[in-house]
Amino acid sequence: MIDIHLLERRWIKYKIKRLIPYVVAILGIGAGLITLLYSVNQNDVTPPPPIKQEIPLVKITPKPDIAEEVIAIVPPPTLQQPRAVAAPIAVARPTPAETSVAWKPKALPSPKENIPVPLSIPKNTPLVAVSATFSTPVVVPPNSQNKPISIKQNSTTFDIHEIEDRFKNNSNPHLGLYIARYHYDNGNYSEAYNYALKTNAINNTLEESWLIFAKSLVKLGRTEQAKKTLQLYISQSNSEGAKSLLNNLTKEDEK
Amino acid sequence: MDHSLFSKPRDLFLDIVNPRDYVQIDSVSHMYQNLKASVQKPLKMILLYGKPGTGKSMLLHKLHHDLSKHQKVFMIDIPIIDEGDFLRVLAQKIYGYVNREAITLTDFLELSTAVNYPQSPIVLLDEAQLYSALLMEKIRLISDARALKFVITLHKTEDEDIIAKEHFQTRIWESIELQNASCEELKIYIQKKLLKANCFDVANMFNEKNIKLISKLTKGNYRETNKLLFSLFSLYTWYEKNTPSKIKYNALKPKYIEMAGIQTGLLRD
């Protein structure tokens, strides 16, 4: 006589025994995959995208037509101040020779002197960036050393999304500028516009960011808005690049 | 009275060798025709060998069943180990010589010359690996004297190659090896057996997956297949009686096949 209940229990035991190797194998594969993914992530994090940043020598010049209270607190026109910029990642330091020649570190203006300079915004300008206030005096790079902040990407396997994430985390304006430039170069003008806008909101002294912002607007068909933005920026910074771009836009309009 | 749908199929797979249950499968049928042809030749000994459960005994019984209609055939399916008894039983069954005492080989050969048959009587020996070498030597002498023709079956095991032994090597004139059934052959075997007994509904329950599982468990061994299916239909009989809702009549449940495998020792839990 067959004891069915005992046989069913034995069958369950048999099935469990039979499944154990599969479960172990699946767990092993899962653990292996997790380890692999983890190590891949680690590798991605450990060597950050090698961005070489050249620190420009900047000259703080007063703006002749700036508001009176601004003039009062802006350092004298001859004052040259190096502007140390916090790099988000590996920074290519200047060579000793460059440092000895160009760098004469002086104390930055005290925080009390950093009175925000509000930009007057036309009412029909819907830009957020324009409404941002300048928290530092307008910085104009000298013509002779008009080297824009450049971030050079050496790796071909870099991921723009990773840099975007980093920018979200640390709000470094140089990263923002880099991303804006990247998108502009790749024809993604709305993204370039957005990142330039964000960058300007964080740091409104980066000329290239303003230029990318304006050029993106032009590419997006909002030339008038680009012109107004450039005019505003020129009024604050006397940027030659901005002037040149504005002239070009005006000439094109006249044509 | 058992009215279960599965009781009849269950009894079909009882491990009993009955030539009427012989199921004709292509390869086995071919072997059988070879065997029958060999028996008609003036050979002394014919060897039928293979692994246990490959159908040697069934084939021998079938041969006995078919040949006994035309000529003198005697089958010894349970080996008679004692030499005197062996010869005495042969003398009685073949020549009708009744003697309570054991007889010698010389007596037996004299007896064989005294009785003439139009065709040499055939002796079918099952499980010949159980006979001693001495007795096998005497069997050889009897066949050499053309007193009798022997068809013997042997288990071919992994451990010992009996066929390699001298008395088989030198005396066997024809040997036929039986193999385990392939998956397809096993399917035909099961289906034919069920259909022969008019178990159409149950025969229809076997699908390819079921057959593959059965073949995997039994490795094509007919005896193991019989045991497994007997156990399987015993389970079905129980379920049909106690929990009929668990039975699906369109296919066999692999679970029940595996349970039958555990029950018969083909699977270890």
pLDDT tens profile B88-111: 999 998 888 888 877 888 888 888
Write phi, then psi, for A152 (nearest 5 degrees).
-100, 130
* A15 vs B contacts (CB less than 8 Å): 258
Q: Give the nearest partner residue to B235 out of A2, A10, A15, using CB atoms.
A: A2
The 3-state DSSP class for residue A8 equals helix
Q: Give the nearest partner residue to B263 out of A2, A15, A17, using CB atoms.
A: A2
Q: Are A186 and A153 in contact (CB under 8 A)?
A: no
Query: Low-confidence residues of chain B, pLDDT below 70?
Result: 1-2, 43, 157-172
Partner-chain contact A4 B235, CB within 8 Å: yes
Q: What is the pLDDT of residue A113?
A: 44
> Phi/psi zone of residue A253: left (φ > 0), alpha (ψ -120 to 50 degrees), beta?
alpha
pLDDT in tens, A75-120: 444 444 444 444 444 444 444 444 444 444 444 444 444 444 444 4
Q: What is the pLDDT of residue B47?
A: 87
**Nearest-by-CA chain B residue for A1:** B234
Q: What is the pLDDT of residue B123?
A: 93
For every residue of B133-187, DSSP letters joined together read HHHHHHHHHHHHTTS-EEEEEEE--SS--GGGSHHHHHH-SEEEEE-PPPHHHHH
- Confirm or reject contact between B232 and chain A (CB < 8 A): no
Residue with tokens 């009781």: B7
Q: What is the pLDDT of residue A155?
A: 47
Rg (CA), chain B: 22
Q: Which residues contact B134 (CB under 8 A, 6 or more apart)?
A: B83
Partner-chain contact B258 A13, CB within 8 Å: no
Q: Give the nearest partner residue to B258 out of A2, A4, A11, using CB atoms.
A: A11
- B73-76 and B122-125: which strand pairing? parallel
Q: Give the nearest partner residue to A11 out of B238, B242, B259, using CB atoms.
A: B259
Partner-chain contact B255 A11, CB within 8 Å: yes
A195/A190 Cα distance (integer angstroms) = 9
Our CA-based measurement puts residue B186 at a distance from the nearest CA of chain A, in whole angstroms, of 24
**ipTM topping 0.90:** no
Report which DSSP code applies to B19. G
Query: Low-confidence residues of chain A, pLDDT below 70?
Result: 44-158
Q: What is the pLDDT of residue B98?
A: 86
